[in-house]
Chains A and B, each alone.
Chain A
């Protein structure tokens, strides 16, 4: 047991937590024992500590592959705010000078977050090969799998990176991975792994679906819901524009509350402000796209509304997982208007190149021309597939091969949407059905289960948990407050 209490001591030293949350310790122990580990832990249960603590304890540098720049930036920022400074991110946003400096001083860091694309750069790899890499962490490991909801082609090359780094202990992490995706992860990494799979269900969240008949009905339902419930609330949208529009309407409807919108099209500085306002209860309602939430560790979110349906169950589970991290009762509701599914169907077809784009790209590239103007996801897909199929000589065969791959991807994504729709139309227990493909059985709800079992959203009223936040208007009073003067 001595060893165990020592781990807890280290947890306190680095993170100022007195004990591990469920599931963390087992994963950390497995990694420290040098076993390649595939682990799932639900969103909001402190996934990142499972590699951060081993990284800080071990000699050498831990490399963390992370698919999203915003995710890395948030992680680095949070660690730094906790006083852990030997961390950095290498991605396309880091300017040349800073990157070179970072690479020159690589061995001074404990944790390096890296985008998969950066690991394809020879000079990054050259430096990484020269230092002692203690752990190789694959965050959001479901990105490796074509069956995952966020497939990333560069993730499929990670096994060669692993070999070049002299095969350090691997930790692959995901919040939501079906057994099929789990197998795919292990297959692509080409190593034997211990699986530590934790259930992802959240007993303190009540699930409910709200069927509405039209746009106006949807808006009115949201207003009614917020009228009854003055609690920290997130409303998810698929469209940036609609998130702004609805935020404005809600602000007008509830002049005494603070409503804001947040999406990826905003300035980074504005995004930071809105995030922090929400964290500090200066905002009541945030209307956002899926861009929000990464790295936001707000404990008291009581209500999560999906104004549009997400395109797969994994995203839905992640997004509702931001509710009730304090363990208190929370409600997640999805507003569904027949026909809403056209949005995700459109979105997935926009992510992949159409026939014209595909043919144009291939002929330009085969003629040695650079191609510009395609979206990032389309370009990434095409580049990778061209590389993968470079043995195909015939232009025509190449086009057909890529079309086939694209159609397979589209089909997989369509099936994900259909699963989401099935869940919406399911007439049994919503909680059971939501987690069905990820685990065997679910824990009983701590309060109410779902709209099928025992819950009616229309009658639901949370106790008011927000105070009216008045912002200080007069500059001199504000200046005094900032400097803690009376």
Chain B
């Protein structure tokens, strides 16, 4: 029931506007313009991509349970919560104090966490003089970055004192129970780390809840390290050189090709990807990069048509918008326009301090 309560809470954001699966896509961090836009429009950015491996079956099961408990109406299309659900959502819950910043950190949280785990394992073995051990991560990027950090002198001096101090600070950011939980996932020369489901059974909690506590802690750590980078010279190394725009890797490649002057068709051909995938990338770029010019894809005329239709309808549902427009206006153009409008609304909203 614990995980369902989080879903119920998130559903209230999109009530009346989207189907339940939009929340699924947000949690999973689906790399589609629609999902990225939804996360902006409904202010669900903190939850974007926090559960990249969530299965549709598990999500649907939660939805079914919410319906059978009378918290959600089985309306077929859009999402409607019952009175009781709204009441429940106002209560304090297990996730009320969990910090998430999926929009900013979902892409980097797991790699950062894996690098930190491997760095700790390596340090632990090396200060004990073990030079051969099996690394807890197989991932090439993780291994390379950890090796690079290890190579920089001084880390191992004084039994890894500097790293010890950084970690000590990080663990003190969370309450003791969460610190204990987090620590169990780390491997050292003394003990192999526990998997999430093993930690869950130690704490007698569902796997999902433990996982969300870990993710939240990692987001919090990243935030803290970025804000206090001079206090975390080692950990900060894993967070440097992030793409400013935090584009997905594949969208980044598309972005480079666009800048070289290739058309959507050409990029699709070169990269052996579907046209729709490239379009998704471009919408993602437009959503995240305000300097990106969409004129090539949406003429000024079409842009204002779409804008008008959107204002007229006060809805963000693509299908309804499309129905209002001449047939040759594509979904791609609507999404691109919404990306621009959404971001502008978003900007304005931040300035005015008002919500939609």
Which A residues form the contact surface with B (CB < 8 A)?
73, 77-78, 81-83, 98, 251, 260, 266-270, 272-274, 276-277, 279-280, 282, 471-476, 478-479, 481-485
Contact = CB atoms under 8 A, between A and B. Distances in A.
29 contacts: A73-B138, A77-B134, A77-B138, A83-B131, A260-B195, A266-B195, A268-B138, A269-B137, A270-B195, A270-B196, A270-B197, A272-B137, A273-B187, A277-B194, A280-B192, A282-B191, A471-B184, A472-B190, A475-B183, A476-B171, A478-B184, A479-B164, A479-B168, A482-B123, A482-B188, A483-B127, A483-B163, A484-B189, A485-B159
Interface stretch (B25-33, B80-88, B174-182, B323-331): B174-182
A83 B132 contact: yes
Contact of A479 (B132, B171, B197): B171
B136 A276 contact: yes
B257 to A, nearest CB: 15
B212 interface: no
Contact of B180 (A77, A78, A266, A473): A473
A482 B188 CA distance: 5
Contact of A475 (B182, B187, B191, B202): B182
B33 to A, nearest CB: 24
B321 to A, nearest CB: 32
Contact of A483 (B137, B160, B182): B160
B167 interface: yes
A interface, by DSSP: helix, strand, loop or mixed? helix
B192 A481 contact: no
B51 interface: no
A98 B140 contact: yes
Contacts of A476: 168, 171
Interface residues of B, number: 44
Given A475-B176, A484-B128, A485-B159, A269 B191 contact: no
B168 A81 contact: no
A73 B140 CA distance: 12
B168 to A, nearest CB: 7
B293 to A, nearest CB: 28
A98 B123 CA distance: 27
A82 B114 CA distance: 22
A269 B159 CA distance: 27
Contacts of B255: none
A381 B137 CA distance: 33
Contacts of B180: 473-475
A77 B135 contact: yes
Contacts of A484: 124, 127-128, 159, 189
Contacts of B176: 475
Nearest to B124: A482
Nearest to B272: A96
Nearest to A469: B191
A272 B138 contact: yes
B112 interface: no
A282 B197 CA distance: 16
Given A78-B134, A479-B171, 5 more contacts: A83-B131, A273-B193, A273-B195, A276-B192, A473-B180
Contacts of A272: 134, 136-138
Contacts of A81: 132-135
Given A73-B138, A81-B133, A473-B180, A483 B191 contact: no
Contact of A276 (B160, B164, B187): B187
A270 B197 CA distance: 9
Given A81-B134, A270-B196, A270-B197, A483 B186 contact: no
B50 to A, nearest CB: 16
Contacts of B190: 472, 478, 481-482
A73 B138 CA distance: 8
A472 B136 CA distance: 19
A448 B330 CA distance: 77
State the 9 A-B residue pairs at the shortest beta-carbon distance, nearest first: A482-B188, A475-B183, A270-B195, A481-B190, A475-B179, A277-B192, A276-B192, A482-B124, A478-B183
B251 to A, nearest CB: 16
B182 to A, nearest CB: 7
A482 B189 contact: yes
A273 B136 contact: yes
B276 interface: no
A276 B176 CA distance: 27
A274 B189 CA distance: 15
A485 B114 CA distance: 23
Contacts of A267: 53, 195
A267 B168 CA distance: 29
B12 to A, nearest CB: 31
A483 B132 contact: no
B120 interface: yes
A483 B133 CA distance: 16
B186 A482 contact: yes
Nearest to B271: A96
Contacts of A269: 114, 136-137, 195
Nearest to A482: B188
B198 interface: yes
B22 to A, nearest CB: 26
B159 A483 contact: yes
* Most central of A81, A251, A272 by chain B CB within 10 Å: A272
A205 B223 CA distance: 55
Nearest to A473: B180
A270 B131 CA distance: 23
A474 B177 CA distance: 9
A153 to B, nearest CB: 25
A75 B131 CA distance: 18
A340 to B, nearest CB: 28
B197 to A, nearest CB: 7
Interface in B252-304: none
A478 B124 CA distance: 11
A481 B124 CA distance: 9
A472 B140 CA distance: 30
Nearest to B137: A269
Contacts of A483: 123-124, 127, 159-160, 163-164
A11 B106 CA distance: 46
Nearest to A277: B192
A482 B191 CA distance: 8
A482 B140 contact: no
A485 B136 CA distance: 22
A415 to B, nearest CB: 38
A471 B184 CA distance: 9
Interface string B183-218: 110111111111111100110000000000000000
Contacts of A82: 132
Contacts of A98: 140
Nearest to A276: B192
A476 B171 CA distance: 9
B194 A273 contact: yes
A473 B181 CA distance: 8
A403 B182 CA distance: 54
A44 to B, nearest CB: 18
A294 to B, nearest CB: 13
A284 to B, nearest CB: 14
Contacts of B193: 273
Given A479-B183, A482-B186, A483-B124, A471 B194 contact: yes
